[in-house]
Amino acid sequence: MSLPVFKVEPGRLAGLGPGAALTVTGPEARHAVTVRRLAPGERLELVDGAGTRATGELRAGDRDSMEVGVVSVTTEPARTPRLVLVQALAKGDRDLLAVETATELGVDAVVPWQADRSIVRWKKERAAKSHEKWVHTVAAAAKQSRRAAWPEVLPLSTTPELARLLGEPGTRGLVLHEEAHESLADLAGAAGTPGAPWAGAERIVLVVGPEGGVAPAELEVLAGAGALAVRLGPEVLRSSTAGPAALAVLSAALGRWASGTP
């Protein structure tokens, strides 16, 4: 059975080795001791969200604190190119479902996008709360999938801001569009060739529109920033499934799921 995972602050696991002791306090300790009811002697894992994982043994715990004896510490190398999902805001929490699944699939960062056709709007008074909901969704999914490196949740982006992101050096943008001529599967088949669309890219930014799709004017702006429109297949997917499906194709093509990768 997989060991339960709990998060500590970045840097807390630095320099630790077998035999070291670490005191964890706050909600994570409370969840381990009070909710999961872990007992002394049981094993668990601590991650810092930045790629470091420590396997340990619970030595003692009370309501808000636990002492963990470190058994081993490993650091997972960052995978390249990084995969970034730009998810348009969508109704019915479909955007959150997409972010949750993308996190489980190994995405490196997510960007909420206020698209022209997004029915959901993050007004000033609710923007911070909505963003925090995305952060909590990513955290829960990262723990469930036992990730040591957690995705970053970037600020809400407008289309002009998204275009600037796509235009940054080392970035290759892909926009999912049902009328695109290029097939993501065909491009993925050429992933290892010098002419692949993301050859030499440091990160691939995958853009997914809302329920009504990416507006023509938006597509023009994103294409002007260097993004390539691609389609998945003959079926038209919901905004909650399109991004994760594309991430799965890319992860397989780029070898991120190959044997021996973290």
CATH classification of the domain holding 25: 2.40.240.20
SS3 for 31? helix
- Taking the CB of residue 88, how many other CB atoms lie within 10 A of it? 30
The pLDDT assigned to 262 comes to 53
Q: Is 121 a member of any domain?
A: yes
Two tokens, residue 138:
């990513």
Residues 6 or more apart whose CB falls under 8 angstroms from that of 116 comprise 159, 215, 217, 218
Mean pLDDT by 10 residues, the chain (262 residues): 90 92 93 92 95 95 92 92 96 95 98 95 88 96 95 96 96 94 83 65 95 94 96 88 95 82 55
Residues 24 and 12: their CA atoms lie apart, in Å, by: 10
Check whether residue 139 and residue 221 sit in a common domain: yes
Q: Of 23, 44, 75, which marks where a domain is finished? A: 75
Residues 139 and 182 in one domain: yes
User: Of 244, 255, 241, 257, whose CA–CA distance to 103 is shortest?
Assistant: 244
> What tokens does 35 get?
């909710």
Asked if 152 and 50 sit in the same domain, the reply is: no
Strands 82-88 and 65-75: unpaired
pLDDT at 63: 85
